[in-house]
Amino acid sequence: MHNLLSNLKIAVPEKIFVKDPESSALGKRIIEHSILLINDLGFDAFTFKKLGVIIGSNESSIYRYFESKHKLLLYLSSWYWAWIEYQLVFETHNISDHKEKLIKAIDIVCRTTKEDSNFSHINEIVLNRIIINENSKSFLTNEVDKENKDGYFIIYKRVIQRLRDMIIENSPDYNFPSSLASTIIEGGLHQHFLKDHFLSITDCEGQITPSRFFIDLTVNTLNLK
């Protein structure tokens, strides 16, 4: 998979960036180190100025690639979900059993990233941590409807719809396939957050993972045999 991924360019909606960060060495450094710095400082305390110092480049040069730090977050989020979608398609396409396929899919969207591909400048382990902590901030804004119309969230929505389709494949009569799919995906991230910060309101810890919880939830709800 890693070899395949290195030859595959993850496609992000064009309007998100001013200049494609994949198109230059500086652009790649911006992506690489923004992930590390957002992880260290949190998105709120992260600034282009601080990033500039780290990559030995000027703040204003970064504005040549992204018009705001919010757009940069949208880019990272889109990249992440495109990468999840890739795994979803790749790792489930040859599973013929519907139930097995759905279980695999839930595991993919809920699991913690444990290996960095080492082929790109993007550290997927750290990016996964950022998504857990910051993904909601990409859409919890006053501009969400405009940005949605501009297509900034299509990849994220497509992942949810793929999961929804697998739910329907298992239970054509179930009334809430879209809501269940979106609950699994946001809930998966949320349970990871709780296990790191609010242990008293989650059961996830050690062997009990968000994946296991949501697989159990789905199998029972859909009454899969």
Query: 171, exposed or middle or buried, with CB in 10 Å at 0-12, 13-18, 19+?
Result: middle
- The residue from 8, 70, 112, 212 that contacts DNA (CB under 7 A) is 70
The reply on whether position 57 binds DNA by CB under 7 A is yes
Q: How far apart are CA 149 and CA 166, in angstroms?
A: 26
Angle between helices 98-110 and 177-197 (to 10 degrees): 40
Closest to 11 (Cα-Cα) out of 75, 70, 62: 75
The reply on whether position 63 binds DNA by CB under 7 A is yes
* Secondary structure letter of residue 113 according to DSSP: P
Closer CB to DNA, 17 or 83, in the complex: 17
- The residue from 7, 175, 206, 225 that contacts a second copy (CB under 8 A) is 175
The reply on whether position 160 binds a second copy by CB under 8 A is yes
Q: How far apart are CA 156 and CA 204, in angstroms?
A: 24
Residue with tokens 């919890």: 140
Query: 152, exposed or middle or buried, with CB in 10 Å at 0-12, 13-18, 19+?
Result: buried
The reply on whether position 6 binds DNA by CB under 7 A is no
Closer CB to DNA, 60 or 148, in the complex: 60
Residues 91-150 binding a second copy (CB under 8 A) are: 133-134, 136-137, 139-142, 144-145, 148
Q: Tell me if residue 120 falls in helix, strand or coil.
A: coil
* 148: its two tokens: 């949605």
As measured in angstroms, the least distance from the Cβ of 29 to a second copy is 23
Binding mask 201-220 for a second copy (x = CB under 8 A): xxxx---x-x--x--xx--x
Q: Are 73 and 43 in contact (CB under 8 A)?
A: yes
Query: Which of a second copy, DNA, none does residue 136 bind (CB under 5 to 8 Å by kind)?
Result: a second copy
Q: Provide the binding-site residues for a second copy, judged by CB under 8 A.
A: 41-42, 44-45, 133-134, 136-137, 139-142, 144-145, 148, 153, 157, 160-161, 164, 175-183, 186-187, 190-191, 193-194, 197-198, 200-204, 208, 210, 213, 216-217, 220-223
